[in-house]
Structure formats: C-alpha cells, structure tokens
C-alpha cells in the first residue's frame, strides 16, 4: 500500500479504552497505532466472513425452498 492510499482518521476513545490499548501495546512492544490497526483489520475480516456466511445461508435456504 502506497502512502497515497493511506488516509489518516480519528476515533474518540474513553480514557479506560485508551489506557488498555496503551498497556497492550507496551506489553507487545508495539505502538498503540499498530494495536488499533490490527484490531480493526481483524474485526473487518471477521465481520466480512460472517456477512458472506449469512448471504450463503440465505441463498442455500432459498434454493432449498
């Protein structure tokens, strides 16, 4: 991914969540930025798979009927 494809964004986090991210990042010797990127990527991957499964299930049910 080139720098031209990367766009900064922001998210508002409560203090507790921000501290938890910082603690996890420190324990992994990573940045909070890295932890948040990983979390978002894993969430998107999981939810896209879940959505695809749901669509396939509905299509299978419709074929069955």
Q: What ranges make up the beta strands (E) of 1-65?
A: none
The predicted structure's pLDDT at residue 60: 96
CB distance 25 to 34 below 8 Å? yes
The predicted structure's pLDDT at residue 1: 65
- pLDDT tens sequence for the chain (65 residues): 677 788 999 999 999 999 999 999 999 999 999 999 999 999 999 999 999 999 999 999 999 99
User: What's the CA gap between 3 and 52, in Å, rounded?
Assistant: 30
């Amino acid at each position: 991914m080139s720098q031209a494809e990367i766009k900064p964004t922001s998210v508002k986090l409560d203090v507790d969540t921000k501290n938890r991210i910082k603690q996890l990042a420190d324990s992994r010797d990573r940045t909070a930025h890295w932890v948040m990127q990983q979390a978002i990527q894993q969430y998107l991957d999981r939810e896209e798979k879940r959505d695809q499964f749901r669509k396939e299930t509905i299509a299978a049910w419709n074929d069955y009927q």
